[in-house]
Amino acid sequence: MHKNSLIQLSRALDRREISSVELTEIYLDRIARMDGKYNSFITVTAELARAQAREADQRRQAGNNGPLTGIPIAHKDIFCTRGVKTSCGSRMLDNFIAPYDATVVEKLRRAGMVMLGKTNMDEFAMGSSTETSFYGPVRNPWDLERVPGGSSGGSACVVAARLAPAATGTDTGGSIRQPAALCGLTGIKPTYGTVSRYGMIAYASSLDQGGPIARSAEDAALLLTAMAGFDARDSTSAERPAEDYSTHLEDSIEGLRIGLPREFFGEGLDSQIGAVIESAVKQFERLGAVVAEISLPNTRLSIPAYYVVAPAECSSNLARFDGVRYGYRCDDAADINDLFSRSRGEGFGAEVKRRIMIGTYALSAGYYDAYYLKAQRIRRLIRDDFHRAFAEADVILCPTSPTVAFKLGEKTDDPVTMYLSDIYTISINLAGLPALSLPAGFVGRLPVGLQLIGDHFGEARLLNAAHRYQQATDWHLRAPEGCG
Amino acid sequence: MTLEKTDVERIAWLARLKLSDNDIPEVARQLSSILALVEQMNTVDTVSVAPLAHPLELSLKLRDDVVTEGNQRETFQALASHVEAGLYCVPKVIDT
């Protein structure tokens, strides 16, 4: 049963071929047997899942259900879940039981989804490999010696290993798309403001967006429809009518203008990945798309600007962790500053501390104009590049990551090397655009991800193009050895 | 920008982060290399470019100034490690 996609499971539940209780047991059993080697869950909520599954079966019995009712899901441990530990991958929140549900959790719960547990992640979503987690690294199901990507590495691992049909993730600089790419999955980061950030622990508030990680565009569309929508509790939520992202999946992509940004295919791109992307482009052409080269000249400035904007916002957001109201508190504080400084010094890991310090420095007296304001000016240049590009193209196509999954420990010594692995994803967050990653082939036995970028609120078109591609190819149907 | 030990100590103090003395040279090296990356921003002239704070340039929504949440003091204080008589406890800050 675990081999089925989310849509197939939904149909099986409709036809009463299986109950939600039975389905939930299948996944709980797989997690219990297999997760020892992946470390993808921080918390497994087995009893809660069983109770939610019983309730889902009752709803289905009463005909009071939607397509997602009774389907299990795993949530990234960045989303607050009432009564359940919400750690954000940090020692700081190891003792934190969230007092309320995030809007995303509440919406999927209302749709009848069954929460299996909370997935491992880079600490406070700061990382590209899930190695900065307080709970230890996650392993990639395609090769246990390699990282699953990050920061939503636990969520990607869970879906790739078929420990859940889908999972939630968040993306500040690539944290949904890059792990989806490295694990052979489909993940979408929506337009800034599409998915509510209420109850999603903040890293960089002007960049953070939640979204689904699934096995296909079709599954992701169904999930995004349930997750998205205006929320008065998030002051940056986009006030737009609700959208059904599944409606246009089957539309023809005849005449779709696909732009290839010249800057994304140059130096630094693994040639074997380049070849995979090239053959995917040919496939899109066979489906009727029209391909042309475009230019995003300021892309090279996106990582420098990101490493001002994101740390500045992080240093402000993470100021709330003071050892007083919740979270880790040091022992035997000598005075109030010792309480703050040691609780934070002991509660945060090395990468989080680095980003807080970079942000603190960039925002400190005398440096604001040179760093933060400069980065915001560059942010406009990057967004304007995309504006111009979308006059010529409906969708932009490029690799998601410059390499396939790298080895555990390979990039942990030098933070800057790790930062450069997000070169193709980070500019999208700065511009607030939607983008998805889908599997497009392999290098050896490791999956390669292809990224499609859309104009603001163009999610439906991205999902449509991805779905048509997936109808013509079977990369998204491959499973890691021992998981299929 | 290369950060010295005293720079790191000042930043750590502003951020209220206790670092061990042994770690400071390595932290100084790492932060300096991140700042070197960041300073690639200076290769482009942005004098005539306005800063962009919100990717869609929308302003934040305001709401009416009314109470929307009930009192949840007990729920929230249950999360704190040192609470007494409904108050959060910290080391004494005023000399008597």
Contact in structure between A389 and A261 (CB atoms under 8 Å): yes
How large is the ipTM?
0.95
On chain A, the residues whose CB falls within 8 A of the CB of B42 are: 374
Q: Does residue A192 lie in a domain region?
A: yes
Is A237 catalytic? The answer is no
Phi, psi (rounded to 5 degrees) for A42: -90, -40
**The domain containing residue A156 runs over which residues?**
6-256+435-477
Contact in structure between A174 and A425 (CB atoms under 8 Å): yes
Q: Does residue A379 lie in a domain region?
A: no
From chain A residues 213-252, the ones with a CB under 8 A of any chain B CB are 232, 235-239
Q: Does residue A471 lie in a domain region?
A: yes
pLDDT score at A213: 98
Contact B15 A334 (CB under 8 A): no
Q: Give the minimum alpha-carbon distance from B56 to chain A in angstroms, rounded to a whole number.
A: 7
A462: left (phi over 0), alpha (psi -120 to 50) or beta: alpha
Burial class of residue A325 in the structure, from the number of CB atoms within 10 Å of its CB (0-12 exposed, 13-18 middle, 19+ buried): middle
A184: left (phi over 0), alpha (psi -120 to 50) or beta: left
The number of C-beta contacts closer than 8 angstroms across A and B is 166
Percent of chain B exceeding pLDDT 90 equals 77
The one catalytic residue among A10, A40, A76, A90: A76
- Please list, in sequence order, all residues whose beta carbon lies within 8 angstroms of the beta carbon of residue B59, skipping any fewer than 6 positions away: none
From chain A residues 400-419, the ones with a CB under 8 A of any chain B CB are 414-416, 419
Contact B17 A298 (CB under 8 A): no
Q: Give the minimum alpha-carbon distance from B72 to chain A in angstroms, rounded to a whole number.
A: 10
Contact A383 B52 (CB under 8 A): yes
Q: Does residue A393 lie in a domain region?
A: no
The CATH number covering residue A251 comes to 3.90.1300.10
What band does B58 get if pLDDT is binned at 50, 70 and 90? confident
Is A364 catalytic? The answer is no
- Give the residue among A412, A480, A404, A413 at the shortest CA–CA distance from A449: A404
Q: What is the mean pLDDT of residues B59-81?
A: 90
Q: Does residue A399 lie in a domain region?
A: no
What band does B47 get if pLDDT is binned at 50, 70 and 90? very high
Distance CA A465, CA A462 (A): 5
- Give the residue among A441, A464, A438 at the shortest CA–CA distance from A451: A438
Q: Give the minimum alpha-carbon distance from B7 to chain A in angstroms, rounded to a whole number.
A: 9
Q: Does residue A302 lie in a domain region?
A: no
The one catalytic residue among A19, A20, A87, A151: A151
Q: Please give the full DSSP string across A183-204, using - where no structure is assigned.
A: TT-EEEEPPTTSB--TTB--SS
3-state secondary structure of A158: helix
pLDDT score at B96: 64
Q: Does residue A296 lie in a domain region?
A: no
Q: Is A360 on the interface with B (CB under 8 A)?
A: yes
Residue B61 above 90 pLDDT? no
Q: Give the count of domains, chain A.
A: 1
Q: Is A32 on the interface with B (CB under 8 A)?
A: no
Q: How far is CA A200 from CA A231, A253, A263, A284, in A?
A: 13, 35, 33, 36
Identify the residue among A340, A360, A387, A420 best suited for mutation to test binding to B, counting B beta carbons within 10 A and taking the highest: A360
The token pair that represents A287 in the structure block? 């489906």
Contact A304 B39 (CB under 8 A): yes
Identify the residue among A357, A378, A379, A429 best suited for mutation to test binding to B, counting B beta carbons within 10 A and taking the highest: A357
Contact in structure between A454 and A462 (CB atoms under 8 Å): yes
Is A175 catalytic? The answer is yes
CA angle A349, A350, A351 (to 5 degrees): 100
Identity of the residue in B37, B72, B93 whose CB atom sits nearest the CB atom of A336: B93
Question: What is the pTM (predicted TM-score) of this model?
Answer: 0.97
Per-block mean pLDDT, blocks of 10 residues, chain A (484 long): 95 98 98 98 98 98 97 98 98 97 98 98 97 98 98 98 98 98 98 98 97 98 98 93 97 98 89 96 98 96 97 98 97 96 98 98 94 97 97 98 96 90 96 98 98 98 98 98 90
- Give the residue among A159, A156, A125 at the shortest CA–CA distance from A138: A156
Q: Give the minimum alpha-carbon distance from A343 to chain B in angstroms, rounded to a whole number.
A: 8
Residues A190/A396/A304/A419 CA torsion (nearest 10 deg): 70
Q: Is A348 on the interface with B (CB under 8 A)?
A: yes
Q: Is A289 on the interface with B (CB under 8 A)?
A: no
Identity of the residue in B37, B39, B54 whose CB atom sits nearest the CB atom of A416: B37
Q: Does residue A180 lie in a domain region?
A: yes
Contact A339 B90 (CB under 8 A): yes
Q: What is the mean pLDDT of residues B84-93?
A: 93
